Copies of this chain bind each other. A is one copy, B any other.
Amino acid sequence: VSGSLTIGEFSRLTHLTVKALRHYHDVGLLEPAGVDGSSGYRRYDTSQVATAQLVKRLRELEMPLPVVRAVLAAPDGATRNAAIAAHLERMERQLERTRDVVASLRALLAPPVPTGHVELRHVEAALTLAIREHVSRDNIARWCGTAFPQLYAVAERTGATVTGPAGGIYGPEFFESGAGEVTAFVPVEGGASDGDVRLHMVPAVDLAVLLHLGPFTDLDITYGALGSYATEHGIAATGPIREYYLAGPDDVADQSGYRTEVGWPVHPGEGD
């Protein structure tokens, strides 16, 4: 049993708008069962209703059309379900991120936390195991989540001794354009390069350093305080920014326990 439907009838059956159906036809996502050669009238079939309903559900979950297309083209149920599950997981991560931002918004609106003490510090060059890559802001959390374990693993494999807290070096474009070169490093004695992980000398710098307590989501607050300090004292220099992870995800379970030193480049010897 099947029945033929005009686009309007199919729209009422599936609760997809006529405009959406024409768009899905244009992009080849949901082809009508037939198209009249002379009039161009689209013809749908009742057998297409189930597919249309699936498309509607996935779009309501803001699944991008290329991904929807992949779901529809899945050769079997397992592949299809995996694609859907992956999307739901993306949504879950985004939801968690939203929760963090809401918390951080409350913190921002609350009476301002007394900002810590800015320290001017000369940092010596140091031997490290490091990974350097072009990373976008959106992916930085996941990237760090794989990079640092990798660094510690190489340290162990190559017999290196870790001599201090891990850190990151962020090129200006990372902030100014939303993506840029990022170096993750762990200071070591001994050890050796291994694949992407290189034995690398991190250069000396003069930094204004401010300790950030709590989630990474709030880091911009500390950046603001630190950068304002450096600017107002006329000591700000250009160059990459450093972060030192004194206590992070590997050390404490709760984000509120994170301790991060933010290092802003300054001109040497101009301390206060």
Contacts and interface: CB of A to CB of B under 8 A. Distances in A.
Most chain B beta carbons < 10 A, residue from A104, A219, A231:
A231
A228 B3 contact: yes
Contacts of A231: 3-5, 9, 13, 46
Interface stretch (A54-62, A142-150, A186-194, A243-251): A54-62
B172 A8 contact: yes
Contacts of A234: 3
Contacts of A13: 223-224, 227-228, 231
Contact of A223 (B14, B223, B228): B14
A12 B88 contact: no
Contacts of A56: 220
A153 interface: no
Given A17-B176, A102-B88, A177-B19, A223 B12 contact: yes
Contacts of A101: 57, 60-61
A49 interface: yes
B2 A49 contact: no
Interface residues of A, number: 55
A17 B49 contact: no
A241 B12 contact: yes
B49 A12 contact: no
A17 to B, nearest CB: 5
A95 B234 CA distance: 46
A144 to B, nearest CB: 16
A27 B49 CA distance: 44
Contact of A81 (B12, B102, B109, B175): B109
Given A2-B232, A57-B101, A220-B53, A18 B108 contact: no
Interface of A: 1-5, 8-9, 11-15, 17-19, 46, 49-50, 52-54, 56-58, 60-61, 81, 84, 88, 91, 95, 98, 101-102, 104-105, 108-109, 172, 175-178, 219-221, 223-224, 227-228, 231-232, 234, 236, 241
